[in-house]
Amino acid sequence: MAILDPAVADPARAEAHDAADPLRAFRDRFAVRDSDLVYLDGNSLGRLPKATAERLRTVVEDEWGGELIRAWDHWLDLPVRVGDRLATAVLGARAGEVVVSDSTTVNFYKLALAALDARPGRRAIVTDRANFPTDRYVLEGLARARGLEIRWIDPDPVDGPEPRDVETVLDDDVALVTLSLVNYRSAAIADLPAISSLARAAGALTLWDLSHAAGAVEVNLDAGGADLAVGCTYKYLNAGPGSPAFLYVRSALQGELRNPIQGWFGQNDQFAMGPAYEPVPGIAAWLTGTPTVPALAAVEEGVRVVEEAGIGAIRAKAAALTAYAVELHDAWLEPLGFGLGSPRDPVRRGAHVAIRRVDARHLSAALLEQRVITDFREPDSIRLGLSPLTTSYREVRTGMSRLRDLAAR
Amino acid sequence: MAILDPAVADPARAEAHDAADPLRAFRDRFAVRDSDLVYLDGNSLGRLPKATAERLRTVVEDEWGGELIRAWDHWLDLPVRVGDRLATAVLGARAGEVVVSDSTTVNFYKLALAALDARPGRRAIVTDRANFPTDRYVLEGLARARGLEIRWIDPDPVDGPEPRDVETVLDDDVALVTLSLVNYRSAAIADLPAISSLARAAGALTLWDLSHAAGAVEVNLDAGGADLAVGCTYKYLNAGPGSPAFLYVRSALQGELRNPIQGWFGQNDQFAMGPAYEPVPGIAAWLTGTPTVPALAAVEEGVRVVEEAGIGAIRAKAAALTAYAVELHDAWLEPLGFGLGSPRDPVRRGAHVAIRRVDARHLSAALLEQRVITDFREPDSIRLGLSPLTTSYREVRTGMSRLRDLAAR
């Protein structure tokens, strides 16, 4: 147990943190209908920005309803335009390296398959047994279809993968190394630069899942040496349920890799509808079918708020909010038999905190009845998603005090 | 040239048709902001149903904004629930055979690849050189990846594929026959039952693209013997720009075919997040990633309007509207050097009419300036999309009279 400052649990401490929070004004940019609800699940579904509600009315009622097909003149570039903004404001990439399209699953499939196609002699994929399910399932399907081996690494369940975990299974038979930057359960951050560098030295490509990272921590795709990445926009980017995902292809690889799903939105001179597929130059080659326009507009609004707050300030608040949650865990919950399921080092931790006890499923359900929304992850974790733009310290304290009271019964 | 009734061009004829139209009240169910605009492009983007604008406000502001993550309790079954409604009201299929998911392109890829996997010894795909581009491009990618041959048929460009066009290239090396039910350019309807039967007799699977058919003509997937189908919802189903697509897998094939994109939304007991992929029983196995919830709700509203009008009445009006457009073409345009690019037989024609002249691109642009929206398709076609729920006979007459005046200059 950490050494505790006796003032940790003092409600004045939460108030003081909130008063000093440089991002506190951003909460008002979101529709918060019910100020008594404690929402600690922004890592599953981020809140609705007020500007998004307005934008969606415009897109649906004025653009679709009024401009009709003519609106495609300004809708067509949305996937690339929103991708450019996301690249530069959130992902540490350049314009022309990111596009918004499809779901994370479909993007992961496209990039993983393209990577395997680009390393045809190699017969192994490296990933983490604790990786997000959809990534594991897609890989399992690709490995079966192509007769490949998956080399599973089993990193520490709390602190996540270390470069050495990858290094020990890397050799010149590995085509692809794919990991989540922030683990969906523990929030452990993987060392993207070190692992990307090891993979590159072995001749393998890297594919990073940024779903729990984008909009929560700084992601330096270009500087870190990542090859490929995907991620969702409905968590810390606040773009709404099932909003389209993004994908990143390092510019140096764009001439080498090819989208395996050859759709008309990736076609050069699309409306010529020519006889043979010829990919459009640049990142738009990774589009497939017709993008969902209102949902893309919602991504643009979500990214705009993150851009305005600044990813540096967001990351700093994520570290501070999660540190506060860890302190409260240590003060209130550890004595009741809980254990921390997230790294203690804030540098290694994303914007959520997992706390573990054997009855986590029951406790998460009981919290919901007390108007505290968290989520449960098998087998024994309650995840507290602390969304830097919308979660207050007071909310964290209230939620955790209700959990303490429930757990103490 | 057909023999003309001299009254064809009389404006009173359009008024009389509109007065007698059993679907005329449905136009008021849609947001028509600008009653002077002649919109003949509902086959590219259908109009906004008023109920959809309302539903989207509810989904975004009350459900996402207010219920937050708790709304997934009722969102989760949307893809299957909307699919069931679409199956029974529009597609001549049964509940459990259709799901709404991804784009048409991605669904086409999933089903085409699954069909090829199910016929592993066969090395050929049959399709139409005039098929919609995204279908051709996806097939080209799959054929290259697997070393397969595409056997292109070249049917009559106006009347579309005949069963004998397919029959001549069918043999026991064909894995997949894939066609559009209604051609995107000519509106020619293919003989789904006859072609499906020929393919089945040869041991091949059929995959039908219903994008220009669903909500415009009767589609009898089950009775017609189709194996697989996909289609979009933003044309005659009026679900909005880039709304999610549907796919159909005949129930008898559901145990045999396997989704090649193994995502978490196709996983049995999804939130157990177990170690290995095990497809959920039934049509939901064809889901991939997180579906776009507001867009799915818009599909539900769009299908509801079609269901209420009845696909039989819609199909009858499509035949009558297109027949009227053909009459006006013959009376006004053929003498000016136009030719009909759609079948003369209404039984063989979907809900749009292509009219051809060498300067079609210029004429379509000039019509837009006169507030008549059509679209141009390479090399020489103006498509008049006549959406039975929203297009009036008067609108058809006004649009075509402006075209006549422009073309006569």
- What is the pLDDT at residue B4? 59
Residue A8's pLDDT band (cuts 50, 70, 90): confident
> Is B182 within 8 Å of chain A by CB?
no
Structure tokens at B90: 């529009």
Residue A7's pLDDT band (cuts 50, 70, 90): confident
Substitution target from A134, A153, A184, A209 for chain B, most B beta carbons within 10 A: A134
Residue indicated by tokens 């259908």: B46
Q: Burial of A39 by CB count in 10 Å (0-12 exposed, 13-18 middle, 19+ buried)? A: buried
Cβ–Cβ of B288/A106 closer than 8 Å? yes
Q: Give SS3 for B350.
A: coil
Cβ–Cβ of A289/B69 closer than 8 Å? no
> Is B373 within 8 Å of chain A by CB?
yes
The answer to whether the CB of A264 falls within 8 A of the CB of A330 is no
Query: Measured between beta carbons, which residues in chain A are less than 8 angstroms from residue B262?
Result: 137-138, 140-141
The closest CB to that of A261, out of B65, B109, B271, belongs to: B109
| Partners of B182 in beta bridges | B189
Query: Measured between beta carbons, which residues in chain B are less than 8 angstroms from residue A29?
Result: none
Cβ–Cβ of B61/A48 closer than 8 Å? yes
- What is the pLDDT at residue B9? 85
> How many residues appear in chain B?
409
Report the alpha-carbon distance of residue B185 to residue B181 in Å, rounded. 12
Structure tokens at A137: 């399932």
- What is the pLDDT at residue B35? 86
| Partners of B207 in beta bridges | B178, B228
- What is the pLDDT at residue A4? 59
Terminal CA-to-CA distance of chain B, rounded, Å?
22
What would the pLDDT profile of A288-322 be if each residue is shown by its tens digit? 999 999 999 999 999 999 999 999 999 999 999 99
Minimal CA–CA distance to A91: which of A287, A196, A231, A293?
A231
User: How far, in whole angstroms, is CA A21 from its chain's centroid?
Assistant: 23
Q: For chain A, state the CA radius of gyration.
A: 22
Quick one: average pLDDT of A323-337? 97
Report the alpha-carbon distance of residue B109 to residue B115 in Å, rounded. 10
At CA B49, angle to CA B47 and CA B50, rounded to 5?
Answer: 130
Cβ–Cβ of B33/A65 closer than 8 Å? yes
List Cβ neighbours of B299 (8 Å cut-off, separation of 6 or more).
B82, B86, B100, B233, B237, B239, B243, B244
What would the pLDDT profile of B156-206 be if each residue is shown by its tens digit? 999 999 999 999 999 999 999 999 999 999 999 999 999 999 999 999 999
The closest CB to that of B61, out of A31, A145, A276, belongs to: A31
Substitution target from A38, A64, A128 for chain B, most B beta carbons within 10 A: A64
> Is A70 within 8 Å of chain B by CB?
yes
Report the alpha-carbon distance of residue B105 to residue B136 in Å, rounded. 10
Substitution target from A68, A135, A237 for chain B, most B beta carbons within 10 A: A68
Residue B7's pLDDT band (cuts 50, 70, 90): confident
What would the pLDDT profile of B84-94 be if each residue is shown by its tens digit? 999 999 999 99
What stretches of A290-351 adopt beta strand conformation (E)?
A: 339-340
- Out of B29, B85, B185, B235, which one is annotated catalytic? B235
Report the alpha-carbon distance of residue B15 to residue B400 in Å, rounded. 15
Structure tokens at A71: 């609106």
Instruction: Determine the distance in angstroms separating the CA of A105 from the nearest CA of chain B, rounded to an integer.
Output: 5
Would you say residue B3 has pLDDT above 90?
Answer: no
Q: Is B235 a catalytic residue?
A: yes
Report the alpha-carbon distance of residue B43 to residue B237 in Å, rounded. 9
What would the pLDDT profile of B8-36 be if each residue is shown by its tens digit? 889 999 999 999 999 999 999 999 988 89
Minimal CA–CA distance to B322: which of B113, B23, B40, B11?
B40
> Is A76 within 8 Å of chain B by CB?
no
Give the sheet arrangement for strand B246-249, strand by strand.
B98-100, B246-249, B228-231, B205-209, B174-180, B124-128, B149-153
Reported ipTM: the value is: 0.97
List Cβ neighbours of A255 (8 Å cut-off, separation of 6 or more).
none
Give the pairing type, strands B375-377 and B381-385: antiparallel
> Is B207 within 8 Å of chain A by CB?
no
Give the pairing type, strands B174-180 and B149-153: unpaired
- What is the pLDDT at residue A369? 97
Would you say residue A3 has pLDDT above 70?
Answer: no
Structure tokens at A133: 């399910």
Query: Measured between beta carbons, which residues in chain B are less than 8 angstroms from residue A275?
Result: 129, 136
The closest CB to that of A261, out of B60, B64, B105, belongs to: B105
The number of C-beta contacts closer than 8 angstroms across A and B is 240
Would you say residue A1 has pLDDT above 60?
Answer: no
What would the pLDDT profile of B340-367 be if each residue is shown by its tens digit? 999 999 999 999 999 999 999 999 999 9
Neighbours of B304 (CB within 10 A): 18
The answer to whether the CB of B299 falls within 8 A of the CB of B237 is yes
> Is B293 within 8 Å of chain A by CB?
yes
Query: Measured between beta carbons, which residues in chain B are less than 8 angstroms from residue A45?
Result: 64, 68-69, 72
Cβ–Cβ of A277/B240 closer than 8 Å? no
Structure tokens at A89: 């404001």
Would you say residue A359 has pLDDT above 50?
Answer: yes
Find the closest chain A residue to B361 by CA distance.
A272
Report the alpha-carbon distance of residue B117 to residue A114 in Å, rounded. 19
What would the pLDDT profile of B106-120 be if each residue is shown by its tens digit? 999 999 999 999 999
List Cβ neighbours of B345 (8 Å cut-off, separation of 6 or more).
none
Catalytic residues of A: 132, 209, 234-235, 383
Report the alpha-carbon distance of residue B262 to residue B240 in Å, rounded. 27
- What is the pLDDT at residue A61? 97
The answer to whether the CB of A68 falls within 8 A of the CB of B39 is yes
Quick one: average pLDDT of B142-162? 97
Residue A386's pLDDT band (cuts 50, 70, 90): very high
Phi, psi for residue A262 in degrees, rounded to 5:
-85, 90
Query: Measured between beta carbons, which residues in chain B are less than 8 angstroms from residue A377?
Result: 273
User: How far, in whole angstroms, is CA B265 from its chain's centroid?
Assistant: 25
Quick one: average pLDDT of A345-358? 97
- What is the pLDDT at residue A2? 47
What would the pLDDT profile of B270-314 be if each residue is shown by its tens digit? 988 999 999 999 999 999 999 999 999 999 999 999 999 999 999
Continuous segment of H or E residues that includes residue A373: strand A372-373
> Is A104 within 8 Å of chain B by CB?
yes
Residue B2's pLDDT band (cuts 50, 70, 90): very low
Sign, CA dihedral A265-A270-A271-A272, equals negative
Would you say residue B1 has pLDDT above 70?
Answer: no
pLDDT averaged over chain B? 96
A residues 24-63 lying closer than 8 A (beta carbon) to B: 31, 33-34, 37, 39, 41, 44-45, 47-48, 52-53, 56-57, 60-61
Q: Give SS3 for B113.
A: helix
Cβ–Cβ of B31/A295 closer than 8 Å? no
Sign, CA dihedral B120-B124-B128-B134, equals positive
Cβ–Cβ of A45/B53 closer than 8 Å? no
Structure tokens at A365: 């359900």
- What is the pLDDT at residue A35? 85
The answer to whether the CB of A59 falls within 8 A of the CB of A300 is no
What would the pLDDT profile of A38-97 be if each residue is shown by its tens digit? 999 999 999 999 999 999 999 999 999 999 999 999 999 999 999 999 999 999 999 999
For residue A379, cis peptide bond before it (omega within 30 degrees of 0): yes
